Amino acid sequence: MIDFLKRFRLFISALFFLLVAFLFFILQLREEPEPSVSARALMQISFPLQEKTQGAFSWFRKVGERYLFLTGVEEENQRLKRELSFLREENNRLQEAYLAAKRIQKLASLQGQHSPSVVANVFARDPSSWFKTVLVDKGEKDGVSKDMAVAVADGVVGRVIEVFPNTAKVLLITDPNSAVDVIVQRTRAQGIMEGRVDEFCILKYLKKSDEVQVGDKIITSGLGGIFPKGLLTGTIVNVERKRPGIFQYVEVVPTADLSRLEEVLILNEEP
């Protein structure tokens, strides 16, 4: 503001004196019914200046109005941006809640078939590539104990191997230390599904005479004392019978997406 006054001080001074002169003439006109010759001359001379002064005041007024308008537009723009950001966050929260509800609904169907059971959230995963384990937010206080089966709606996840008061560790079926007694659903051929370092499993102890093919579904047999019978476990993706030995080589991919686990069901029942 001070820089503005210094920059335009001559112009402002001229406007001030012209305004004073104009007021003086107005007062004279009110006192005298007929203006004098000198007054008329001064009015004639000052008229262009008064006109310019009025134009300048009009310009300043328009600039001020324009500034106030732009300030209002900027404030409104910032308010709308804040509202848009809030609505985006709210939409994201609602979308996440909707997806979670759908997953819980699928789990509820499985929970109805295997009661009692506990719904748990996966909150951590083993960062190493050698061990395939996850941590869940349910433990001893929730009735979880070692060797309980863990599943989702799409199939078997693994089994509980360690239990703490409020959490538990789950060994996934793709871990090399995992072994699940299973049968081929179509032909009832029986074997053991073991984990591998890769994201698939091997179906062991199937004789070459056992009829299996790519696409066959694998389910739990109910033997072994951990997994209830009939839980979907995987799908056969590769069969090789020409290898040496009496058993055929069979690769299985788990039906549950173990890389995207969020909620799981801990089955608190006898197999």
Quick check: is 158 in a domain? no
106 and 184 belong to one structural domain: no
pLDDT tens track for 132-147: 899 999 999 999 999 9
Cα distance between residue 98 and residue 147, in whole Å: 32
Most confident by average pLDDT, 73-77, 79-83, 130-134, 200-204: 200-204
Chosen domain end from 113, 147, 164: 113
The total of structural domains in the chain comes to 2
Q: What is the mean pLDDT of the chain?
A: 80
Q: Which helix (H) or strand (E) holds 104?
A: helix 37-113
What is the pLDDT, as a whole number, of residue 51? 56
Domain residues for the domain of 40 are 18-113
The percentage of the chain sitting over the pLDDT mark of 70, rounded to a whole number, equals 70
Quick check: is 248 in a domain? yes
Q: What's the CATH number where 200 sits?
A: 2.40.10.350
Nearest one of 86, 71, 111, 79 to 267, comparing CA atoms = 111
Cα distance between residue 111 and residue 45, in whole Å: 99
pLDDT confidence band for 184 (50 / 70 / 90): very high
Quick check: is 136 in a domain? no
Quick check: is 225 in a domain? yes
46: number of Cβ within 10 Å: 15
| Ramachandran angles phi, psi of 268, nearest 5° | -100, 65
- Sign of the dihedral through C-alpha 138, 141, 142, 143: positive
Would you give the end-to-end CA distance of the chain in angstroms? 84
Quick check: is 135 in a domain? no
3-state SS string for 154-189: CEEEEEEEEECCCCEEEEECCCCCCEEEEEECCCCC
Nearest one of 228, 219, 211 to 256, comparing CA atoms = 219
Quick check: is 194 in a domain? yes
Q: In terms of pLDDT, which residue wins out, 129 or 133?
A: 133
CB 188 within 8 A of CB 145: no
107 and 188 belong to one structural domain: no
CB 231 within 8 A of CB 219: yes
Quick check: is 28 in a domain? yes
Quick check: is 149 in a domain? no
